[in-house]
Amino acid sequence: MKADVSVIIPAAGLSLRMGTRVRKPFKVIGKKPIIFHTLEKFYKLRRIKEIILVVNKDDLSTVIKKWSDKLKLYKVAAIINGGKRRQDSVFNGLRHLNPDTKIVLIHDAVRPLVNNKIIKAVIEKAEERGAAIVATPMKSTVKKVNSNLGIIETVPRHDLWMAQTPQGFKRDIIMGAYDKIKNTKTEFTDDAEVVEKCGFKVEIVSGSYDNIKITTREDLKLAESLLLEH
């Protein structure tokens, strides 16, 4: 029997780079917030049994009041407070997992263009290898610079990949890794880094360049265009 899958969606960021009062997951594209576009990509998959939505503490009461009934239709089993850092938010999400969960997916709230093929591939690779992420090969030339933006070196790109989400893990691996780093001051930019830090190997599933993370106003315009095409 295939293992139950839970999804944690961190949506607690401050959206500073967007420069708007409304946080990115709640910006509207095509008459609905970005977060609902993202949820739609997951809740229809049979293997996904629940979604844990982690939001900024300042948004929690509003989200529950405004959308809790609708979110239940999207398999959202819990809406919880985020932490100061992304890793704190994810750790909070892990603590709310269903006891039967065997595979955990963690996905950025503002990556609404992920597709079913990618999600299924990450689940399968995580089951097989324990830890897997979606990524794409680096296309641009990469420069390492100093504090004055002077180029120090050109970094060979043939073995560089850009990490995306979802990132998938066997429950015991991701829980164990986060338990080990929960009190560290080090900031981790993704979940694979946490797992790597604890000595586990992480494998890559080839993804799509369309699976962008909406960070800037320019990203928002691109995502709107791509979502309207799909």
Query: Are 152 and 144 in contact, with CB atoms under 8 Å apart?
Result: yes
Q: Give the DSSP letter of residue 199.
A: T
Query: Are 22 and 14 in contact, with CB atoms under 8 Å apart?
Result: no
Give the pTM.
0.93
How far apart, in whole angstroms, are the C-alpha atoms of residue 50 and residue 191?
Answer: 19
Q: Give the DSSP letter of residue 73.
A: H
Return the closest-CA partner of residue 194 out of 51, 88, 78, 54.
88
How far apart, in whole angstroms, are the C-alpha atoms of residue 59 and residue 154?
Answer: 42
pLDDT at 64 over 70: yes
Kind and range of the H or E element at 81?
strand 76-81
What is the number of structural domains in the chain? Answer: 1
What's the CATH code of the domain at 83?
3.90.550.10
Full domain range(s) for residue 199: 5-229
Most confident of 11-25, 53-67, 77-91: 77-91
pLDDT at 16 over 60: no
Query: Model confidence at 166, in pLDDT bands (50, 70, 90)?
Result: very high
Average pLDDT rounded to a whole number, residues 156-178 = 96
